[in-house]
Amino acid sequence: MIMGCDDGIKEGMTRRNIKLVLEYDGTAYRGWQRQGNLPTIQKILEESIARITQEPVILHGSGRTDAGVHALNQVANFRTSSRIPAANLLRGLNSLLPGDIVIRETEDVDEEFHSRYSAKSKSYLYRILNSPVRSPLQRNSAWFIRCCLDLEKMAGAISLLCGKHDFTSFCAAGSDVKSCVRTIIRAEIERETEQVITISVEADGFLRHMVRNIVGTLVEIGAGQDSSEIMRDILEAKDRGCAGITAPPQGLFLQKVSY
- Under the binding rule (CB under 8 A), the answer on residue 170 touching its own copies is no
117 annotated as a binding-site residue: no
- Under the binding rule (CB under 8 A), the answer on residue 194 touching its own copies is no
- Under the binding rule (CB under 8 A), the answer on residue 101 touching its own copies is yes
**Interaction mask 20-49, its own copies, x per CB under 8 A:** ---xxx------------------------
Phi first, then psi: give them for residue 204, nearest 5 degrees. -75, -10
- Under the binding rule (CB under 8 A), the answer on residue 69 touching its own copies is no
Q: Which is nearer to its own copies, 23 or 166 (CB)?
A: 23
Task: Given the residues 6, 7, 25, 66, select the one marked as catalytic.
Answer: 66
HSE of 1 in the Cβ direction (CA atoms, 13 Å)?
A: 7
What is the full DSSP assignment across 100-120?
TEEEEEEEEE-TT--TTTT--
Give the span between the Cα atoms of 15 and 8, in whole angstroms: 8
Residue pair 52/82 in contact by the 8 Å Cβ criterion: yes
Beta-strand pair 70-80/60-61 = antiparallel
Q: Which is nearer to its own copies, 23 or 188 (CB)?
A: 23
List the beta bridge partners of residue 258: 121
Of 59-67, 136-144, 176-184, 218-226, the segment contacting its own copies by CB under 8 A is: 136-144
66 catalytic? Reply is yes
- Under the binding rule (CB under 8 A), the answer on residue 95 touching its own copies is no
- Under the binding rule (CB under 8 A), the answer on residue 136 touching its own copies is yes
The distance of closest approach from Cβ of residue 136 to its own copies in the complex, given in angstroms and rounded to an integer, is 4
Q: Which is nearer to its own copies, 93 or 234 (CB)?
A: 93
Residues 6+ apart with CB under 8 A from 178: none
Report which of 65, 61, 56, 59 is spatially closest to residue 27, judged by C-alpha positions. Answer: 65
Helix ranges (DSSP H) in 55-170? 86-96, 151-159
Q: Please report, as ranges, the residues that interact with its own copies according to CB under 8 A.
A: 23-25, 70, 72, 94, 99-104, 133-137, 139, 141
| Residue list for the binding site for substrate | 124
Active-site residue numbers?
A: 66
Annotated binding site: 124
